[in-house]
Structure 1
Amino acid sequence: MSDAALIDPDAARAIATGDHGDPFSVLGMHEDGGNLVVRCFHPEAEAVDLLDAETGSLVTALKPVEGAPGVFAATVPERRKRFDYRLRMTRGGETWTQADPYAFGPCLGEIDEYLLGEGTHGRLWEALGAHVITHEGVKGTHFAVWAPNARRVSVVGDFNGWDGRRHVMRRRSATGVHELFVPGVGDGVVYKYEILGSGGQLLPLKADPVGFGSEKPPQTASVVRDLGRHEWTDGEWIGKRSDLQRIDRPISIYEVHLESWRRVPEEDGRPLTYREFATQLVAYATDLGFTHIELTPISEYPFGGSWGYQPVGMFTPTSRFGQPDDFRVLVEACHDAGLGLIVDWVPGHFPSDAHGLAQFDGTALYEHADPKEGYHPDWNTLVYNYGRTEVTNYLIANAKFWFEEYHIDGLRVDAVASMLYRDYSRKEGEWVPNVHGGRENLEAIAFLQHMNEAVYGESAGIMTIAEESTAYPGVSAPTSNGGLGFGFKWNMGWMNDTLRYMAEDPVYRKYHHDKMSFSLHYAFSENFVLPLSHDEVVHGKGSLLGRMPGDEWQRFANLRAYYGFMWGHPGKKLLFMGGEFAQRAEWNHEQSLDWHLLETPPHAGMQALVRDLNGLYRSAPALYERDCKAEGFRWIDGGNAEESIFSWIRYGAEGSAPVLVMSNFTPVARSGYRVGVPVPGHWAERLNTDSAIYGGSNQGNAGGVKADAVAAHGCEQSIEITVPPLATVFFELSEV
C-alpha cells in the first residue's frame, strides 16, 4: 500500500509540523477499507516496529512517510480486529518500547463533560489537571486542560523533549477541554502546555491552571503529583472542629509568612521546610497559646516580593518549602497539637506572568477583555471574570480543594473590598458600571455567596474570613439573609483607629479618645476578627513597637497596654509574627525575624505577656462566648477622655464569671481609683500588663479586691483599685 493510501499527505505534513487539530483521527490504530492501519509520529526515531503487547512478538515494521519527517505508518498484515500493541523505536544503537498515547480512549466521562460544559463541576480538580492513573491496563498520567479557543494544545516536558508536535491532546469540542493519557509518565514529571491560538499563533508555554505540583521558583513548570498517596490521621480533629471554630469559642490567630519566620543561618539562611515548620512553628504557636496559625498565601507564586498574593498555581502548595505531602505533614502536625490552620486565599486577581492564566488560550479566558474590568491598577494584575461560569467554577472548586485535599480549617479571603466594587481604586471613566448603573460588582458578590455556600455546605466545621475594609453590609451574614456568607470579617476600622490613637503622645490622647471607643458602635454588626496583620508592619509603617511613642520603657508599656486592650475587646484576635516579642525592625520578607531579641528582658517579657493573654482569653468564657453579641459587652466608663482611661465589662453565657477590663493610656498611675462593678463579691486580678514579669513597674492590686456597697458608674457597688501607668488590667469575679 502506498504512503498516500496509508495516510493523507496533507494530514501527514500537518502532524509533522504540529498543525493538526485532531491527531486522534489520524494517529493510532484505525480500520481502513477492511484493513487495520497503524500510524505514529516519533521524530526522534529512525525506525519503528509494531509489537503485539500480549506476546511481545513483532507484527510489522512501520514505514517512514515521505515528506513528513517523523511520521510512520503501516498496514497490519493478516489481522482484522483491533488488538493491544506497543511501539518499538530504534535510533542508532538504542532501542526502547512504549505504549502509544493515541491507542487509548478518553478518560473523561459523559457526566464530567456535561458538568464542565455547564460550569458546575463541583470537583473540578478530579477532572482537570494531571492525574497519575492506570488507564486501560496501562500506568501513566492523564492530562486535561480547559482552552476552548485554542487551535491546538500539547503537553510538553522532558519526556518528549519539550516538542509540542508529539503529544497533541484530544479536544472535547463541547467543553473546550483538551485531554490526553500519556503512558509511562508518573509522579515527579515536569510539564507545561504548548498552545496554538485560534489564529495559529504560538503562545508562551503555560503552567497547568489545575496543576498539583510546581517547580521551585524561579522555574515555572508544573510537576505531576499523585494526590492519592497520603493517609490522613487527623480524623479526631476533624470530628471536633465544628465545636472549636464557632463564633462563641476562643479564636486567637498567629499570622505567619513562612519564608521569613525563621531561617537556618548555618545553611546560607535558607527558609525552613514544611516538615521543619511541622515541629518548630507548631510547637512555638502551641506554647504561646494561639488556637490557630494563619499562613500568607501558599498557592504557588512566582514573585517572592508579592508574599504569595499574586499566585499562579492555585492548586499547589508552593514548592519553596517542599512537596504537597510535606505540606500535609504540617497540616496534621497542627491538628495533632490542637491548632487550626488557616490559609490566605486570593480569588480577586492574578498576575500577568506569561506562564500563567493571562491570555491562556490566546484570548481573555479567565480575565475580562476590557481593561476597565480586567486590569487591577493597584497591583498591576488581572481581575477574574466572575460573570463566566467556568471561571467561578474554577475558583469555587479551588476553595473546596484546599479543604478536601489538604484538610485546612479556614480560608482568609484577601482583598474582598476590591472585588465588591467596580470602581475600586479607579477614577471616573476608568470603570464599567453594573447592569443597573451602579458600582457594585454583582457577579463578584454572587461568586462570594456561592463560594461560601459550597464550602460550608460540604466541609464540616470550616471557616471563611473576609479581609473587607468598607462598610459593605452583611459580610458575615448568611446568604439566606442577603449576606455574603463569611464566617468572620476582619475589623479594619478598629485596627486603623486604634493604631492612630496609640501613635499619639499620651498628653494628646484625650483629644482622640473616640478612636478607641468608636468601634463599639458597630462591634456586633459582623462577626469580627481584630487584626494586627502583616500590612501594619511594612511599606514604611515600621514595627508595632516602633509606632509607640515615648522613651524605651514607655514604648514597651504602650504596646503591652494596647495588646491588653485588644484581648479584652470583643472580637477574635490575630497577631502577625514578630509582634508577639515586639520586633523592632519593620518586617522584611527576605530575612528571618530577629529572634535574638528574646535574649533581652523587654522582648522576652512581651512574649510572656502574649502567652498569658492567650491563656486568660481561653480560660475566661466572658472574653469569648459573646464576642459577637451586644449583650456580651457593657461600658463601665468609656468617656474618661481627660485621664485616657477606658473600663468595660465582658459577659459570657449564663453562669460564666464576668470580667472587668481597664486600660490606662497615660504614664500616670492612678491609686485609689474607684470603678463600678455590676456584681458584688471578690474580683481577682487575673492579668496586669504592668507586671514586672512583663517588664512593667509592678503596680497592681495584690491579687484582687472586694467590691464595696458604694455606687459608681451607674453600678450599686464598686471596687477601689490602683490603675497602673500605660497598662491594661483584667479582673474576674471569683467569689460572690
Structure 2
Amino acid sequence: MMSIVPSAETIRAIVDGRAPDPFAVLGMHATADGRIVVRAFRPGAEAVGVVQTSTGRLLGWLPCVDDAGFFAGALPRRKQRFDYRLRVRDAGGERDVDDAFRFPSTFGELDLHLLGEGRHWRAWELLGAHVVECGGVSGVRFGVWAPNAQRVSVVGDFNHWDGRLHPMRRHPGIGCWEIFVPGIGEGAVYKYELVGAHGGLLPLKADPFGFAGELRPQTASVVRRTDHHAWDDAEWMAGRTERQRRDAPVSIYEVHLGSWRRSPEHPERPLGYRDLADALVPYLLDMGFTHLELLPVSEHPFDGSWGYQPLGLFAPTCRHGSPEDFQYLVERCHRAGIGVILDWVPAHFPSDAHGLAQFDGTNLYEHADPRQGFHPDWNTLIYNFGRTEVVNFLVGNALFWLERYHIDGLRVDAVASMLYLDYSRKAGEWVPNRYGGNQNLEAIEFLKCANTEVYGQHPGCMTIAEESTAWPAVSQPIEAGGLGFGYKWNMGWMHDTLAYMGRDPIYRSHHHHEMTFGLLYAFSENFVLPLSHDEVVHGKGSLLARMPGDTWQQFANLRAYFGFMWAHPGKKLLFMGCEFAQGREWNFEASLDWHLLDSPWHAGVQRLVRDLNHLYRELPALHALDCEPAGFAWVSADNAAQSIYAWLRLGPDGSAPVLVVSNFTPNTHHGYRIGVPHAGRWRERLNTDAADYGGSGQGNGGGVHSEPEPMHGHPQSLAITVPPLATVVFVADL
C-alpha cells in the first residue's frame, strides 16, 4: 500500500495530469499500518480539511505537501473508511464540497461484460452523462469509450476546464472510462480532455453519447435528462403496428424543421419544437398525411449539411429546444394519429476536431485506411463497420431514438454508399473484400444487425432504406436473403418519371415507357415513391419549375403527376413546399413561401394533395396491396401516340376497384373508350383538372355508366372525357 504522502514522482504525475490511476492515489485509502489517509489535489486552495458527512464534524486539516495544491494526511484514531466531504478554503471563502474520488465505480459486472463483447444495445444508459445519485449524493456520472487514451478527464465550467481535476477511472479490459462528479446537474457544459496513445494532448472532444449539445458555433456537450417527459401517447403506441403494416396507407410529409415556417417577426430564427407542434401537427392532420419524416435532428455543427453530417447522434439539435421539447413534438404527432420517422445517418460523419475523428488519437470510429474510411463525395469519414464497438454504438443509437423518443421509423440515409466498397471511387481507390468483390461485407452485416434489433425490440416500427442501386432484396427478410428493411425508396421510379415530366408533351410519345418501366420491378421491394428534398436543391429548381409549358400547363402537369403518383403502387413521400407548388428552389435558411397560397393556382395544388391523401387513405384499393402484384393491372399501357395511361388498382376481396387514367398531353379526348371489369356506374372520385384545383373543369359529371362493349380484355367499357394534362380516378359502384 502507498504511504501517507506519495512519492514526489507520483505527486508530480497527479499535478501534471499524467497519473495512470489517479483513483489509487486520491481520495480515502488505508495505509500499510492500517491508518486512514485522505489525499486531495485542489489547485488554488489555501487549506483543505476533512469533514465527516454523518456528523458534519471537521476531523482535521490536511497538510499541503506540494505547493501546486496537493494535500495529504492521516486521520487520527481512524481505522475504518467513512463518507466524508472536503472543506476547502481559498480566495472565495470556505465551503464544503464532495470529493469525486471517494465514490466507487458505478459500472456493474454485466454492463462491463456486454460492453466488452460489443453487444450492449443500451450502452447509452451507461455511457454519456447521467444525472444520478451515488451514496445519497446528487451529481453526474460520465462514461466514455477511449481504449487507446493514456488519460481521459471530464472538463467544464464546474472545474474551470482543468483536465487535472477530474481524471476518469479506467476499465482496461473494455477501454471505457467513468467518473461520478458530485454537485453538478442538468445544464452543465462539458467536454472530454484526452491524452492520446503517444502522450500528446488531443483537441477537446464532445461526448459521443451526449444527450444535448451547445448551440453552434459552440461545440460542447450539455448534461440533459431524457426521462423527464411523462408520455401521453399510449393509444398510438398500442395501435402503431396496425398503422405501419405493408397494407396500411403510408403518406409521408418530409420536413426540414429549420425552414418549414419561421416567425415573420424573427425570420432569422427557426421555430422551436413546441411552436412546431402547435403549427405543424394541425397542418399534417388537415392535409391527410399519415407520417412526418424529419431531416436529421441529431446535433450537427453545420447548418448547410441539413443535419446529414451529425456529430451528436444521441442529441436532438438544440436549434429548436430541449430534448423534452422534442419529445413533446413527437407526442403531439402521436395524439393526432401521425407517425414520426427520423432520417438516420450511420453511413458517415464529419471530421470536425471536436467530434469522433481520431477520438482517442487513433482511428477509433472511422476506418483507418482512407480508401475505406474517407468519403470523397462529402469529405466525411466512414465508420469502421467491422469493429464491434462501433456497431454497438450505431445500433444502440437506433434503438435509443425508438425507445427514449418514441420514434416510429428510421429512414437510413446513403445506404448505397455503405453497401459498395467502390462507391464513387475509381479503380485503385478502393479495397476489395476478402473474396475480391466490391460488396462491403461488414456494412451489410451491420445493416442486418440493425434491422434485426429494431424489428425484434420494437416490432411496430419501420426502417426505410435510401438505396439508389439495384441491390437485391433490400426490403426482404434477412432469413430470405434480404437486408431486412421494411421499405426502400424507389429512386428509379423517381428518376424516370421526373425525366418524362420534364419533357415537352410533343416529345413524350417517344419516351412513353419512362412512366411504365417502374412497374416491371414495382413489387420486387416494398417501395416508397419519393419526391424528396434531393429533387428541389443543387440547381434542380422546384418541381413546378421543372414542368414544361406556360404557367397553366406547368400547374396542370404537376397536378397530373401528383395524381399519377398517388394512384401508383407504393407508399408516398413528398417534401415540404411541393404540396402547394413552391416556385423557387428550397432554401434551408428561409421559410417556405406560404404567401403563395394567396394565389388560386398554388392553393389549388394544395387542395389536390389534401384530397389525394384522404382518397388514398379511404380506398383500400389505393393502398392495401401497394406492395403486391395482385393490387395492380394495366388496362392500357401502350398508347404512346396520345400519351395516355390507364390502369386498375385492386384491393382486398370485397373492396371496390379503382380505375385511373392519366393524360400527359394538353389535348382533351371526348368519348375515349376504356375497358373495365365490372358493369355499372363508375364514380369520378378525383379529377386533377377540376376547377377547384385550378384546372379547366372538364370531366365526367360525377361518373359514367359502363356499356357491354368489350375493350382492353374486359367485358365492359366506359366512354369518358379525358381532360388535358390530367389524372382522373374512377371507383366502381359495387
Per the normalisation by structure 1, the TM-score is 0.99
Per-residue Cα deviation, 1:524-556 (whole angstroms, up to 9, x for no partner)? 000000000000000000000000000000000
**Corresponding residue for 2:109?**
110
Task: Measure how far apart 1:21 and its partner are.
Answer: 2.1
**Corresponding residue for 2:582?**
583
Distance of 1:665 and 1:569 partners within structure 2: 15
Distance of 2:20 and 2:163 partners within structure 1: 12
Task: Measure how far apart 1:4 and its partner are.
Answer: 7.7
**Corresponding residue for 2:369?**
370
Per-residue Cα deviation, 1:495-528 (whole angstroms, up to 9, x for no partner)? 0000000000000000010100000000000000
- Name the amino acid aligned to 1:71: F
Per the alignment, in what secondary structure is the counterpart of residue 194 of structure 1?
strand
**Corresponding residue for 2:384?**
385
Distance of 2:395 and 2:566 partners within structure 1: 34
Write the mapping of 1:362-441 to structure 2, written as runs, cut at 5 A. 362-441=361-440
**Corresponding residue for 2:682?**
683
Contact 1:533 1:574 in 2 (8 A): yes
- Name the amino acid aligned to 2:718: I
**Corresponding residue for 2:593?**
594
Distance of 2:414 and 2:202 partners within structure 1: 30
**Corresponding residue for 2:25?**
26
Q: Is 2:164 the counterpart of 1:186?
A: no
Per the alignment, in what secondary structure is the counterpart of residue 266 of structure 1?
coil
Per the alignment, in what secondary structure is the counterpart of residue 140 of structure 2?
strand
Task: Measure how far apart 1:46 and its partner are.
Answer: 1.8
Contact 2:36 2:81 in 1 (8 A): yes
**Corresponding residue for 1:49?**
49
Distance of 1:586 and 1:528 partners within structure 2: 26
Distance of 1:44 and 1:205 partners within structure 2: 23
Per the alignment, in what secondary structure is the counterpart of residue 325 of structure 1?
helix
Give the gaps of 5 or more residues in structure 1. none
Write the mapping of 1:483-494 to structure 2, written as runs, cut at 5 A. 483-494=482-493
**Corresponding residue for 1:666?**
665
Contact 1:6 1:75 in 2 (8 A): no
Task: Measure how far apart 1:5 and its partner are.
Answer: 4.7
Contact 1:649 1:660 in 2 (8 A): yes
Task: Measure how far apart 1:42 and its partner are.
Answer: 1.1
Per-residue Cα deviation, 1:257-295 (whole angstroms, up to 9, x for no partner)? 000100112124311000011110111111100000000
Distance of 1:669 and 1:93 partners within structure 2: 87
Contact 2:674 2:712 in 1 (8 A): yes
Question: Greater shift after overlay, 92-101 or 534-543?
Answer: 92-101
Contact 2:3 2:31 in 1 (8 A): no
**Corresponding residue for 1:205?**
204
Distance of 1:715 and 1:488 partners within structure 2: 33
Distance of 2:153 and 2:507 partners within structure 1: 67
Per-residue Cα deviation, 1:652-709 (whole angstroms, up to 9, x for no partner)? 0001100000100000000110000111111000000000000000000000001100
Q: Is 2:225 the counterpart of 1:226?
A: yes
Write the mapping of 1:423-502 to structure 2, written as runs, cut at 5 A. 423-502=422-501
Distance of 2:416 and 2:606 partners within structure 1: 33
- Name the amino acid aligned to 1:55: T
Give the gaps of 5 or more residues in structure 2. none
Per the alignment, in what secondary structure is the counterpart of residue 520 of structure 1?
helix
Contact 1:155 1:169 in 2 (8 A): yes
**Corresponding residue for 1:59?**
59
- Name the amino acid aligned to 2:347: G
Distance of 1:79 and 1:64 partners within structure 2: 20
Per-residue Cα deviation, 1:62-93 (whole angstroms, up to 9, x for no partner)? 12123x50211111111111011000111125
Distance of 2:507 and 2:71 partners within structure 1: 86
- Name the amino acid aligned to 1:614: N
**Corresponding residue for 1:132?**
131
Task: Measure how far apart 1:309 and its partner are.
Answer: 0.2
Distance of 2:43 and 2:459 partners within structure 1: 52
Q: Is 2:36 the counterpart of 1:36?
A: yes
Deviation >3 Å, runs of 4+: none
Distance 1:681 1:189, change over 3 A: same
Write the mapping of 1:298-317 to structure 2, written as runs, cut at 5 A. 298-317=297-316
Distance of 2:267 and 2:721 partners within structure 1: 51
Distance of 1:207 and 1:153 partners within structure 2: 12
- Name the amino acid aligned to 2:293: E
Contact 2:14 2:22 in 1 (8 A): yes
Distance of 2:710 and 2:290 partners within structure 1: 39
**Corresponding residue for 2:338?**
339
**Corresponding residue for 2:544?**
545
Distance of 2:235 and 2:345 partners within structure 1: 29
Task: Measure how far apart 1:159 and its partner are.
Answer: 0.3
Distance of 2:198 and 2:95 partners within structure 1: 37
Per the alignment, in what secondary structure is the counterpart of residue 526 of structure 1?
coil
Per the alignment, in what secondary structure is the counterpart of residue 397 of structure 1?
helix
Task: Measure how far apart 1:43 and its partner are.
Answer: 0.8
Per-residue Cα deviation, 1:410-466 (whole angstroms, up to 9, x for no partner)? 000000000000000000000000010000001000000010000100113100000
Distance of 1:144 and 1:556 partners within structure 2: 56
Contact 2:298 2:311 in 1 (8 A): yes
Distance of 2:579 and 2:230 partners within structure 1: 35
Contact 1:60 1:74 in 2 (8 A): no
Identity of aligned residues (%): 64
Task: Measure how far apart 1:218 and its partner are.
Answer: 1.2
Task: Measure how far apart 1:208 and its partner are.
Answer: 0.4
Write the mapping of 1:340-359 to structure 2, written as runs, cut at 5 A. 340-359=339-358
Per the alignment, in what secondary structure is the counterpart of residue 77 of structure 1?
coil
The alignment yields a C-alpha RMSD, in angstroms, of 0.9
Distance of 1:155 and 1:149 partners within structure 2: 16
**Corresponding residue for 1:95?**
94
**Corresponding residue for 2:520?**
521
Question: Greater shift after overlay, 547-556 or 90-99?
Answer: 90-99
Distance of 2:8 and 2:35 partners within structure 1: 19
- Name the amino acid aligned to 1:38: V
Per the normalisation by structure 2, the TM-score is 0.99
Task: Measure how far apart 1:385 and its partner are.
Answer: 0.3
Per the alignment, in what secondary structure is the counterpart of residue 333 of structure 1?
helix
Distance of 1:153 and 1:183 partners within structure 2: 18
Contact 2:4 2:31 in 1 (8 A): no
Distance of 2:16 and 2:331 partners within structure 1: 49
- Name the amino acid aligned to 2:476: A
